[in-house]
Amino acid sequence: MMVNFYWWFPCFLLMMGLFVFVSNRKHLLSMLLSLEYIVLILFYLLIVFLNLMDYNGFFSMMFLTFSVCEGALGLSILVSMIRTHGNDYFQSFNILQC
């Protein structure tokens, strides 16, 4: 019974995070927050899977390092977009401009 809770509840949380990511496309900051939420749920699922299979936690530390790098890159894009455009709306950001 408890094993099902370890798998179904995080999968439900992952689906909710994907729904928020797909439905909320107005601000870059809310998109980045939903992406970080999805990464945290995936990290939890990875920890549960590695513990059930009796592996060590080295791969989870690599995953956590890459997710921190992804978050820092997203924040740097957010800061540069706010500096150049004044806000984080996707409607004001035109990709065709130089």
The predicted-structure confidence for 38-63, as pLDDT tens digits, reads as follows 999 999 888 888 888 888 778 888 88
Asked if residue 94 belongs to a domain, the reply is no
Amino acid at 10: P
Asked if residue 92 belongs to a domain, the reply is no
Asked if residue 97 belongs to a domain, the reply is no
**CATH number of the domain that residue 13 is part of:** 1.10.287.3510
Determine the 3-state secondary structure of 19 from DSSP: helix
Percent residues over pLDDT 90 in the chain: 14
Q: What are phi and psi of 27, to 5 degrees?
A: -110, 145
Q: Give the residue numbers spanning the domain of 25.
A: 2-85
For 64-89, what is each residue's pLDDT tens digit?
899 999 989 988 988 888 888 788 77
Q: What is the pTM of this model?
A: 0.79
Asked if residue 98 belongs to a domain, the reply is no
